[in-house]
A = this chain, B = another copy of it.
Amino acid sequence: MQKSLSCEILAVGTELLLGQIANTDAQMLSQGLSELGISVFHHTVVGDNPQRLREAVELAKSRADIIITTGGLGPTADDLTKETIASAFGKKLELHGPSLKRLYDRWTFGKMTKNNERQAWLPEGCEVLVNDWGTAPGCAFEAEGVHVVMLPGPPRECTAMWKHRARPYLEKLTGGAIVSHYIRLYGIGESAMEDKIAYIMDNAINPSAAPYAKEGECLVRVTAKGENHDVAEEMTKPLMEQICSELKDFVYGIDAESLEEVLVALLKEKNLTISTAESCTGGYISKRLTDIPGCSDVFMGGMVTYSNESKMKLLGVKEETLKAHGAVSEETAYEMAKNVAEIMGTDIGVGITGIAGPGGGTEEKPVGLIYAGISYKGETKVYELPRRKNQSRERVRLLASSKVLDLVRRTVLGIE
């Protein structure tokens, strides 16, 4: 087997060293490099300081096959990445005509100031990476046995430049094509997931399978490398099927962004409508549903009934119910779900009530106690959500809203 290439990610920017921003570019690039089978052994951050940048480049040259830099490509005197790196590799900067033209063409605020032209000066002999998402172009070259790729720092630009420019450049180096898919899971912990599929992951080299955990969810990335895209795509299939059949109903989507995206698509497909009645989550569920463009086809609206009065007035929850069982009770969740579906005339109604904390808990009804009602085509079921200790208010609310989205998905699909 070929030795895998190694990469160092070198971020340039004093704002990182002052803690004004986190180095999310390095995270995004590391994920992408891992997909390509390229090993990342170092992240380094230096400020807008030519000497320390030069030292960092010399060190990276000595220990990595690939150097990816982020930041320092802009028009100001602080932006020194190209100059410093070109000089470390004995190269000059040259004015790149098409990039200069592009800068002038894209300029929309009055006359472009001269200093902006600096962005069109690029290392001699480099491959220019056209930036369709900002002003400063990136570039790539090979010298002294090292591949250097320079990308702009702003995360939105860096992400697009990685995907559409740097990734294809590096794919050529690694040979063949690489395809990755993400299997997204809800309702199973990372270690339980690993237990279930360890026997599959251990034997999977190409295609490979790697587990990730994130925000109360898990995912498995399946990556295959083949002589071309179609071959690699085909190679992922048996492994995907094997993992999905082992993890069954925990799988909520393939290559999906989120539970809400999958749920909105599912409701559209099934031609179902939904409405929400939220107490403890205070609009979090409707916010997440409406994060998805086009959700208006399925989401008719919701109510945030934070007080007993609003539960009675807007949702028609009975005063006796609130008196006998309290606002945080199975009975109240039941009425909230049932009534919101009726009032809004939707196929599905969601009701959620609980104690998000940090205050408001009692021995009988502790912080984290949450009931969710799901009304589906006239039938309403209530669930007590799993409770975890020592969670922040934000996390209690996030996990509760995720759980409800998954409960709706399972209800619609008829999964117990």
Q: Which residues of A contact B (CB under 8 A)?
A: 11, 16-24, 26-34, 40-47, 49, 52, 56, 59, 210, 212-214, 276, 278, 280-287, 289-291, 293-296, 299-307, 309-310, 313-314, 343-345, 356-359, 393-394, 397
> Which B residue's beta carbon lies closest to that of A24?
B22
Contacts of A276 in B (CB 8 A): 304
Contacts of A283 in B (CB 8 A): 278, 282-287, 290, 302, 304
Contacts of A290 in B (CB 8 A): 280-284, 304, 306, 356, 397
Contacts of A304 in B (CB 8 A): 276, 283, 286, 290, 301-304
Shortest C-beta distance, A338 to chain B (Å), equals 17
Chain A facing B: main interface SS: mixed
Shortest C-beta distance, A34 to chain B (Å), equals 5
Residue from the list B40, B293, B393 in contact with A18, Cβ < 8 A: B40
- Shortest Cβ-Cβ A-B pairs, 7 listed: A282-B290, A283-B283, A19-B30, A19-B31, A283-B286, A301-B310, A43-B45
> Which B residue's beta carbon lies closest to that of A45?
B43
Q: Beyond the given A19-B29, A283-B290, please list 17 additional residue pairs across the A-B interface where CB-CB is below 8 A.
A: A16-B30, A19-B30, A19-B32, A20-B212, A20-B213, A22-B24, A23-B23, A41-B52, A281-B287, A282-B295, A284-B287, A286-B306, A290-B356, A291-B393, A293-B356, A293-B357, A309-B345
Cα distance, A123 to B157, chains bound together (Å): 44
> Which B residue's beta carbon lies closest to that of A47?
B41
Q: Are B23 and A293 in contact (CB under 8 A)?
A: no
Q: Are A306 and B310 in contact (CB under 8 A)?
A: no
Shortest C-beta distance, A50 to chain B (Å), equals 13
Cα distance, A172 to B169, chains bound together (Å): 50
Contacts of A214 in B (CB 8 A): 20
Cα distance, A407 to B24, chains bound together (Å): 32
Contacts of A52 in B (CB 8 A): 41-42
Q: Are B294 and A359 in contact (CB under 8 A)?
A: yes
Residue from the list B17, B26, B294, B357 in contact with A40, Cβ < 8 A: B17
| A-B CB contact pairs (8 Å), 30 listed | A11-B43, A16-B26, A16-B30, A18-B30, A19-B26, A19-B27, A19-B28, A19-B31, A20-B214, A22-B26, A23-B27, A41-B46, A42-B45, A43-B43, A43-B44, A44-B45, A276-B304, A282-B286, A282-B287, A284-B287, A284-B290, A287-B287, A290-B356, A290-B397, A293-B357, A301-B305, A301-B306, A301-B307, A304-B304, A314-B343
Q: Are B314 and A307 in contact (CB under 8 A)?
A: no
Q: How many copies does the complex hold?
A: 2
Q: Are B23 and A43 in contact (CB under 8 A)?
A: yes
Q: Are B41 and A44 in contact (CB under 8 A)?
A: no
Among A43, A47, A52, A307, residue most surrounded by chain B Cβ atoms (within 10 Å): A43
Given A22-B26, A26-B23, A45-B42, does the pair A307, B296 have CB atoms closer than 8 Å?
yes
Cα distance, A387 to B372, chains bound together (Å): 38
Residue from the list B21, B210, B280, B306 in contact with A27, Cβ < 8 A: B21
Q: Are A394 and B40 in contact (CB under 8 A)?
A: no
> Which B residue's beta carbon lies closest to that of A309?
B300
Q: Are B303 and A307 in contact (CB under 8 A)?
A: no
Q: Are A293 and B358 in contact (CB under 8 A)?
A: yes
Contacts of A34 in B (CB 8 A): 18-19
> Which B residue's beta carbon lies closest to that of A395?
B156
Cα distance, A31 to B280, chains bound together (Å): 33
Given A18-B40, A21-B27, A286-B282, does the pair A296, B306 have CB atoms closer than 8 Å?
yes
